[in-house]
Amino acid sequence: MQKIINETKLDFDDVLIRPKRSTLNSRSEVDLVRSYSFKYSPRKLLASPIMIANMDTVGTFGMAKTLCPHSAITCLHKHYTKDQYIDFYKQQTNSDLVFYSVGTSEKDIDKAIEVFKVIEQSKQYPNICLDVANGYTEQFVKTAYRLRNLFPESIIMAGNVVTQEMTEELIIHGRVDIVKVGIGSGSVCTTRLKTGVGYPQLSAVMECADAAHGLGGHICSDGGCKVVGDIAKALGGNTDFVMLGGFFAGADECEGEWKYEWLCGQGTFKEFWQPFDPEVPTTKRKVSLKYYGMSSKNAMNKHHNGVAHYRTDEGKCVTVPYKGTAQEIIMDIYGGLRSACTYIGANNIKDFGKKTTFIQVNNTHNKIYEKP
């Protein structure tokens, strides 16, 4: 057995995309919406490759409502109640662009069965995101297979893994349509620090995409995009979807603890934290949001009564500035992606990977005005 893999694996920061001659005259000619068909699900999806992470701050109903008209996909977090999901799906005109999240617990699966039963009556079909931190267990593959049998029509995405053999296992034996790729790359993830486990994201994407596409499956690159250029690089590495958390953290549509400021006479501001409450509309100004990993102490205290004695937290909590609406963020992403397409002569997003050549670099950009 080879104990050390000597080939250097790459992250987004290790490469740039080489420009190429192009016949495109304008960015407006670029089509970012792609028609996807899947290995198992008979359903088609017309969407951009952008997915919002199923974290309880960003994977919200509000995010889905704002982003559906922009053809971006929202993976809802799994902590809403059964009735909240049912209400949401009943109101949602295009549930194609929404994924319902589950873990491997019986509780999650029972809840999914109940929700799906009700919403199927109103001719809605949720897509499913089966999400665990470590997609390398037998139990995980069995759960994916079980979900396929329970919901044969659904588009099923499952992860996370970072290697070819597990991508193949999930597609062949788990019967999933999309494999979610990324371990340790997320902005609020501490897995690499706590366990030493991980895989540079760009190499993981290129290798898993190759395995998945060979079998007629798809992948979603999950985590680690810090700038729009990283999204372009993930697409250049042949991912079909790109999942983003931190990018949308701080958007108006986020739930969680917001810091507000309140004008209190003579131009002075008072700042304070307040948990999100959709029932209480606010005229105060948002300043920042607590964005935390779903395996952080914050998330475990909120959803599981603390960290179980046999495990450790693998996520952290940061404060991110208010960023305006999710619409502004998605438009900025699309602008960057259209520009990237024109630089390499790709007139649609499906061609992006085929047209990309990477250059390995020591410096990605000029940092002279960045804070040390």
Give the footprint of ligand 5GP on this chain (CB under 6 A).
53, 55, 133, 160, 182, 186-189, 191, 222-225, 243-247, 293-296, 314-315
For ligand 5GP, the closer CB: 179 or 344: 179
**In this structure, which amino acid lies at residue 42?**
P
Cα-Cα-Cα-Cα dihedral of 257, 249, 140, 150, to 10°?
A: 90
Contact present, 223 and 205 (Cβ < 8 Å):
no
Q: Which residue has the tokens 């902590």?
A: 79
Contact present, 186 and 175 (Cβ < 8 Å):
no
**In this structure, which amino acid lies at residue 37?**
S
Least CB distance to ligand 5GP at residue 321 (A):
15
Burial code of 259-271, b = ≥16 C-beta within 10 A, e = fewer? bbbeeeeeeeeee
For ligand 5GP, the closer CB: 217 or 224: 224
> Which two three-digit tokens encode residue 139?
């139990």
Q: Which residue has the tokens 């993981």?
A: 204
The residue from 189, 225, 254, 341 that is catalytic is 189
* Sign (positive or negative) of CA dihedral 7, 9, 15, 21: positive
Least CB distance to ligand 5GP at residue 246 (A):
3
Q: Which helix (H) or strand (E) holds 121?
A: helix 106-121
For ligand 5GP, the closer CB: 198 or 345: 198
For ligand 5GP, the closer CB: 80 or 292: 292
Q: What contacts 24+ positions apart, CB below 8 Å, involve 175-178?
A: 175/40, 175/144, 175/145, 175/148, 176/40, 176/130, 176/144, 176/148, 176/217, 177/38, 177/39, 177/40, 177/41, 177/217, 177/218, 178/38, 178/217, 178/218, 178/219, 178/220, 178/240, 178/241
Is residue 189 among the annotated active site residues?
yes
Decide: helix, strand or coil at residue 35: strand
Least CB distance to ligand 5GP at residue 245 (A):
3
Q: Which residue has the tokens 């909120």?
A: 302
For ligand 5GP, the closer CB: 30 or 231: 231
Least CB distance to ligand 5GP at residue 43 (A):
23
Least CB distance to ligand 5GP at residue 184 (A):
6
CA dist 186 and 142 (Å) reads 26
Least CB distance to ligand 5GP at residue 63 (A):
13
For ligand 5GP, the closer CB: 86 or 129: 129
For ligand 5GP, the closer CB: 179 or 346: 179
Least CB distance to ligand 5GP at residue 58 (A):
8
For ligand 5GP, the closer CB: 295 or 356: 295
Give, as one character, the DSSP assignment of residue 341. H
Q: Which helix (H) or strand (E) holds 351?
A: helix 349-355
Least CB distance to ligand 5GP at residue 153 (A):
25
**Radius of gyration from C-alpha coordinates of the chain:** 21
- Catalytically active residues are 189
